[in-house]
Amino acid sequence: MRMRNKYRKPTTFRCNAGSRCSLSAVVWGLVGCVLMLHLYYLIHHHDGVGGEIQMRLNHPLLTRDLQEVEEEGFQIPPPKGKRSPRAAKRRPKRPTTLIEEFLDESSPLRYLFFPDQRTAINPLKEAENDSLCFYPGRMWLDTNGKPIQAHGGGILYVKRPGMYYWYGENKDGPTYHAHKKGAARVDIIGVSCYSSKDLWTWKNEGVVLMGEETNETHDLYKLNVLERPKVIYNDKTGKYVMWMHIDDANYTKASVGIAISGSPTGPFEYLYSKRPHGFDSRDMTIFKDDDGVAYLIYSSEDNSELHIGPLTEDYLDVTPVMRRILIGRHREAPAIFKHQGTYYMITSGCTGWAPNEALTHAADYIMGPWETLGNPCIGGNKIVRHTTFFAQSTFVVPLPGLPGSFIFMADRWNPAELGDSRYVWLPLTVGGAADQPLEYNFGFPLWSRVSIYWHQRWKLPDGWSRK
């Protein structure tokens, strides 16, 4: 069936062009034009200007720790003795691969993928040396001590209060199958928002876009589907605009929905849904470029390709301009980011709730052509790298103080209990040896390598938020 992808969600929204404010912009404000020119000259022609500038130039040192490759000890369990062919027919086979173990809710290895509450990341518990540490796959509690509910999410940075807002699906309800062939699902509760200054201590700002309990004709009626919400800020209208995947329980509606708010913490007013450019649209994300133009990127033609097109100036609709990219590649869960003028995108394959291998794509122009590089995952072991650390991309967060360093956000879906799906956040860097493109494309530059490093435990380097 074509709606096979009820799965996961992704996304991206790129935060603010504002946070990309260049080094020169900072210095301008501080020193004034003449001094600035002088400084600029110094920075570019002499080593060691000192202070903040030097720190930024040296950021690879700060991030070196993050690039250390960590091996992971996942082992496939030994087979549980021989079974007669007849017995094998009567009962389903025991899972034999780690992916099957992952999907098997009674697997003895379950604790590896979904460690229990005792290991939860808990900002209330002042574990001195664990403070600010990310533990991919562990439960993650907010400042009320409740598990964070922001799946398939994305992050918006608002410069004025210096606050990060994390939006995602609230899936804090029972998981069930609507009918025999239906995918595991949770009724729509709404879009949650959490706020943080350090990307680790998250305060629940509540459900900022509510599902609809009773009105069956409403897009947000609880028996429908809302996935991968992303929010960007429109500088011209002063509004926060949310885009999301809207569908019915069978994934036949395949539309995008748009909501708007005057505040990052909502409430958001739901406006409408549509099929962008007249095409089916499932996993999607939005990306706001440095020049303020925002784009919608969505899986289309039954997830066989991606479509990309600019939004209108108010971000409330698409324009008629659209390009097909990654045709025939069957990618979903797009997460886009930009570094030094080049656009990068991480995507997953389409295998339902089961994890698969991520790919990196790059482009000089956001509308394409896009070129496919390779699997960005590094460390762990082979199975971990081939399953994107048992997770699926949803967003890439730029770190304002560390150009070239990002946080890769992914969802480790738990199809048996979707509300207990976990977050896998890992350091992503751009740089180093160029990748060989997967397909030969005459005339293209060689791209920088995009790397996502596996860590069981990691933290951001000091100074990551310095600007």
Ligand X SMILES: *[C@@H]1O[C@H](CO)[C@@H](O)[C@H](O)[C@H]1NC(C)=O
Strands (E), 235-317: 239-247, 255-261, 269-274, 284-288, 294-300, 305-310
Q: Please, which of residues 68-127 interact with ligand X by CB under 6 A?
A: 127
With CB under 6 A as the contact rule, the residue among 52, 104, 248, 420 that binds ligand X is 248
Q: Is the peptide bond before 267 cis (omega within 30 degrees of 0)?
A: yes
* Choice from 22, 96, 131, 215 touching ligand X (CB under 6 A): 215
* Choices 192-200, 247-255, 274-282, 408-416 (CB under 6 A): range interacting with ligand X: 247-255
**What phi-psi label fits residue 56: left (phi over 0), alpha (psi between -120 and 50 degrees) or beta?**
alpha
Interacting stretch for ligand X, rule CB under 6 A, among 188-196, 237-245, 246-254, 299-307? 246-254
Residues contacting residue 49 through CB under 8 Å, at least 6 positions apart: 39, 42, 43
Q: Output 243 or 344, the one with its CB closest to ligand X.
A: 243
**CA distance to 185, 187, 226, 251, per residue, from 177 (Å):** 6, 11, 16, 13
Minimum CB separation from ligand X for residue 260, in Å? 15
Shortest gap between Cβ of 185 and ligand X (angstroms)?
Answer: 11
**Encoded tokens for 100:** 């099957």
Question: Which of 122, 196, 250, 356 is close enough to bind ligand X by CB under 6 A?
Answer: 250
Exposure string for 311-329, b = 16+ CB within 10 A, e = fewer: beeebbebeeebebbbeeb
How far apart CA 251 and CA 265 sit, in angstroms, is 29
- Contacting ligand X within 148-207 (CB under 6 A): 179
Nearer to ligand X, 253 or 288 (CB): 253
Least distance in angstroms from the C-beta of 2 to ligand X: 12
**Which token pair is 339?**
């570094």
Task: Mark the segment that binds ligand X (CB under 6 A) among 75-83, 84-92, 215-223, 405-413.
Answer: 215-223
Give the binding range for ligand X (CB under 6 A) out of 20-28, 57-65, 103-111, 212-220: 212-220
The percent of the chain in helix, strand and coil, each rounded to the nearest 5, is 15, 35, 50
Nearer to ligand X, 56 or 253 (CB): 253
Distance in angstroms between the alpha carbons of the first and the last residue of the chain:
49
Size of the site for ligand X (CB under 6 A): 9
Decide if residue 131 touches ligand X (CB under 6 A). no
Q: Which of 106, 144, 217, 340 binds ligand X (CB under 6 A)?
A: 217
What is the closest distance, in whole angstroms, from the C-beta atom of residue 212 to ligand X in the complex? 7
- Of 18 and 182, which CB lies nearer to ligand X in the complex structure? 182
Output the CA torsion 316→205→423→310 (10° steps). Answer: 10
Contact of 288 with 16, CB cutoff 8 Å: yes
Site for ligand X contains 249 (CB under 6 A): yes
Beta carbon of residue 179, minimum distance to ligand X (angstroms, whole number): 5
> Which residue lies nearer to ligand X by CB, 14 or 253?
253
Q: Could you say which residues in the range 332-361 bind ligand X, by CB under 6 A?
A: none
Task: Name the DSSP class of 147.
Answer: B
Stretch that binds ligand X, among 243-251, 344-352, 382-390, 458-466 (CB under 6 A): 243-251
Amino acid at site 103: L
Residue 122 or 356 with smaller CB distance to ligand X: 122
> Given the rule CB under 6 A, which residues bind ligand X?
127, 129, 179, 215, 217-218, 248-250
